[in-house]
Structure 1
Amino acid sequence: MGVVKDKFWLDAEKTALVIIDVQEKLAPAMNQSLYGQLIQHTNLLIEGFKALGLPIIATEQYPQGLGHTVTELPGVASQDCIEKMTFSCCGDDKFMAALEKSEAKQVLIVGMETHVCVFQTALDLLDRGYVVHLVSDALCSRFQSDYANAIKASARAGAVITTTETALFQLVKVAGTDSFKAISKLIRQRTA
């Protein structure tokens, strides 16, 4: 691939979905409009990645204090989440081991909070040579201004800002295949 495609084009053989800290005690404090989008689109991405047989890695920040992953994400079992204390997922050896095991070179990130754990993880992954795509309609923060600033700063740092549908159709690439049919069916079920 060329330089542009290497950065902006997701390749199913190289991509992992990372779900960061969508937890019970954090959820009520989030901007509820952003949070609603995050739940809807993260579920769509989970179903899409499962249909395509692609790796999913989920984390929980200090679950003893912040609770486990919200029940609105039934595709993420809390016992499968990587517990961490560092804001950046990359500060946790278990996370890095899971990412290395996935053999992904591209990381699609969803979760919260955009300006803390998501942003710090994105920077660390970029610094380690990963291609990072932030799914703007599957991220949230307490305040819209923090969310917006983190999106802009992440883009300036080299992350690609994308959306759920863009990412899923990039992973499929070709119409008429079983993968395309599975993703199209999920997309048709999506509400605005």
Structure 2
Amino acid sequence: MNNPLLMTPLNTALLVIDMQEKLLPSIDTCGPVLWNTRRLLDGAAILKVPVLGTEQYPKGLGSTVPELAERMGTLPEKLEFSSCACLSDQLAKLQRPKILIAGIEAHVCVQQTALDLVALGYDVLLVVDAIGSRFRQDKRIALRRMESSGVTLTTTEAVLFEWCRVAGTPEFKQISQLVRENPPT
């Protein structure tokens, strides 16, 4: 049975927003945010989930951190906080109804992108342990606002197992290794 509420590698795209060198160190819990985003990218590669990403004003905020950039390819630059305008062609080509978001900052670029995607008719999911803001309250309020606007909250581990769906496959063994990794200290 195909439950339409569940993500699969065929109905989902992963969007990583603005995980950049000069911004990331100021993010509350940046270590876990970076670690979880990297695990999502590795899981997406294993299960062939398409990945999109953006960089906010890289002249000022630097490039995407190398650990993630090497897994993502070329990323469009943007000045608008929402990523939708610079990704509209890519999103249309993918034809994926579910967009899973990781990135920073929760209350600015992530929130504006998520709300725009909801308005465009996408089923938007937010990986709460792979997003961040400089201040906890900004993230907390952004999560509440997005959830009340129709965005579904989830976690990295839930995503990895949901994409996988079954145990016993070679992909599941690789996903299990990602799940068993020790978090950063």
Structure-1-length-normalised TM-score: 0.90
Is residue 2:63 matched to residue 1:81? no
Partner of 1:36, secondary structure, is helix
Q: In the alignment, what sits opposite 1:20?
A: 17
Q: In the alignment, what sits opposite 1:145?
A: 137
Distance 1:82 1:76, change over 3 A: farther
Is residue 2:60 matched to residue 1:68? no
Q: Is the 8 A contact 2:9 2:48 kept in 1?
A: no
Q: Which has the higher helix share?
A: 1
Q: Percent identity?
A: 43
Deviating 4+ runs (over 6 angstroms): none
State how far apart, in whole Å, the 1-side matches of 2:119 and 2:37 are: 25
Unaligned runs of 5+ in 1: none
Pick aligned residue for 2:40 from 42, 45, 61: 45
Q: Which moved more, 1:79-88 or 1:117-126?
A: 79-88
State how far apart, in whole Å, the 1-side matches of 2:83 and 2:68 are: 19
State how far apart, in whole Å, the 2-side matches of 1:152 and 1:72 are: 30
State how far apart, in whole Å, the 2-side matches of 1:41 and 1:55 are: 17
Q: In the alignment, what sits opposite 1:54?
A: 49
How far is the alpha carbon of 1:158 from its aligned partner?
Answer: 0.5
Amino acid at match of 1:147: K
State how far apart, in whole Å, the 1-side matches of 2:135 and 2:161 are: 30
Q: Deviation string for 1:6-25 (max 9, x for gaps)?
A: 34x11221101100001111
Q: Is the 8 A contact 1:119 1:154 kept in 2?
A: yes
Q: In the alignment, what sits opposite 1:118?
A: 110
Amino acid at match of 2:181: Q
Q: Is the 8 A contact 2:114 2:151 kept in 1?
A: yes
Alignment: residue pair count: 184
How far is the alpha carbon of 1:107 from its aligned partner?
Answer: 0.7
Distance 1:87 1:162, change over 3 A: same
